[in-house]
Amino acid sequence: MNIRYDWTLEELEMLYHLPLLELISTSNQLHNKYHEPSEVQVCSLISIKTGGCPEDCKYCAQSSRYQTAVSATPLMSYEAVLNEAKKSS
């Protein structure tokens, strides 16, 4: 099976209705075909403005518009963010 972007609705419905273990097995085979199975991609997040954002996106804990037990911290400097990124790579 090759990577595709032209799935039809019927094909997606067929995948959706596959037995779970068959779906897991097929997924694993495809993953191993395109990725080194022993490697894991690691990503990390840092909060660069904890509780200090002036926006209010409702779902986000970084907004300064809510009273919480977490103390707000100022926006991290560009250099500090860059240094944290370098530690992760």
Residue 72 CB partners (closer than 8 Å, separation 6+): 50, 51, 52, 64
The reply on whether position 18 binds ligand SF4 by CB under 6 A is: no
The reply on whether position 55 binds ligand SF4 by CB under 6 A is: yes
The reply on whether position 50 binds ligand SF4 by CB under 6 A is: no
Between 30 and 57, whose beta carbon lies closer to ligand SF4? 57
Distances (CA, A) of 19 to 12, 16, 23: 14, 9, 6
Between 8 and 67, whose beta carbon lies closer to ligand SF4? 67
Interacting residue ranges for ligand SF4, rule: CB under 6 A: 53, 55, 57, 60, 62-63
